[in-house]
Amino acid sequence: MPSGPAACGAPRLDGSGQRLHARLLGHADLAQACAFVPAWLGLHERVRAALPAVWTRLLGHPAFNADVIEDLRRPADTRMVGLGVAIALDESWRRRMADDPPPFAPALLYGELLDGHFVPPSDKELARLNGRGEVSFLVLHYEQTLTDFADPDTLEILALAMSRFRQAHAGYRLQHLYQEGLGEQGAYLQSMGFRPRTARGSPDVPELYGLGRDEAATLLPGSPVRDAFQFTPPRFGFTASERRMLRLAVTQLSDEDIGDEIGLSLHGVKKLWRSVHQRALDAMPHLFDEAPAGDTGTRGPEKRRTLLQYLRQHAEELRPYAAPRDADAAAADRGAV
User: Can you tell me the mean pLDDT for 12-36?
Assistant: 81
What confidence category does residue 1 fall into, taking pLDDT thresholds of 50, 70 and 90?
A: low
User: Can you tell me the mean pLDDT for 128-148?
Assistant: 96
Domain layout of the chain by residue ranges: 20-227, 240-318
**DSSP letter assigned to residue 28:** G
Return the pLDDT at 300.
73
d(CA 172, CA 232): 8
What confidence category does residue 85 fall into, taking pLDDT thresholds of 50, 70 and 90?
A: very high
User: Can you tell me the mean pLDDT for 234-246?
Assistant: 96
Residue 286 CB-density burial (10 A; 0-12 exposed, 13-18 middle, 19+ buried):
exposed
User: Can you tell me the mean pLDDT for 90-104?
Assistant: 97
Which residues make beta-bridge pairs with 144? Answer: 82
d(CA 202, CA 219): 30
Q: How far is CA 310 from CA 236, 288, 306, in A?
A: 12, 11, 6
pLDDT digits (tens, 9 = 90+) for 157-198: 999 999 999 999 999 999 999 999 999 999 999 999 999 999
Return the pLDDT at 252.
86
Distance of CA 220 to the CA centre of its chain: 22
**DSSP letter assigned to residue 296:** S
Return the pLDDT at 327.
37
By three-state DSSP, how is residue 25 classified? coil
Contact 284, 266 (CB under 8 A): no
Contact 33, 5 (CB under 8 A): no
User: Can you tell me the mean pLDDT for 32-44?
Assistant: 95
The better pLDDT of the pair 8, 326 is held by 326
Return the pLDDT at 89.
98
- How many distinct helices (H) and strands (E) make up the chain? 15, 7
d(CA 304, CA 220): 33
pLDDT digits (tens, 9 = 90+) for 262-294: 999 999 999 999 999 999 999 999 998 854 444
Contact 197, 178 (CB under 8 A): yes
Mark 227-240 as b/e (b = at least 16 C-beta within 10 Å). bbbbbeebebebee
* Mean pLDDT for the chain overall: 89
What confidence category does residue 12 fall into, taking pLDDT thresholds of 50, 70 and 90?
A: very low
- 239 has pLDDT over 70: yes
Fold exhibited by the domain 20-227: Aminopeptidase (3.40.630)
pLDDT digits (tens, 9 = 90+) for 292-309: 444 433 467 889 999 999
DSSP letter string, 227-290: HTT-----SS---HHHHHHHHHHTTT--HHHHHHHHT--HHHHHHHHHHHHHHHHHH-TTTT--
User: Can you tell me the mean pLDDT for 82-90?
Assistant: 98
User: Can you tell me the mean pLDDT for 128-146?
Assistant: 96
Return the pLDDT at 298.
42
Return the pLDDT at 337.
56
- pTM assigned to the model: 0.88
CA dihedral 51, 224, 174, 57 (to 10 degrees): -20
Number of other residues whose CB lies within 10 A of the CB of residue 283: 14
User: Can you tell me the mean pLDDT for 61-81?
Assistant: 93
Sign of CA dihedral 273, 279, 280, 281: positive
User: Can you tell me the mean pLDDT for 131-154?
Assistant: 94
- 335 has pLDDT over 90: no
- The gap between the terminal CA atoms of the chain, to the nearest Å, is 28
User: Can you tell me the mean pLDDT for 202-216?
Assistant: 97
- 224 has pLDDT over 80: yes
Return the pLDDT at 8.
33
Return the pLDDT at 16.
46
- 7 has pLDDT over 50: no
d(CA 31, CA 143): 15
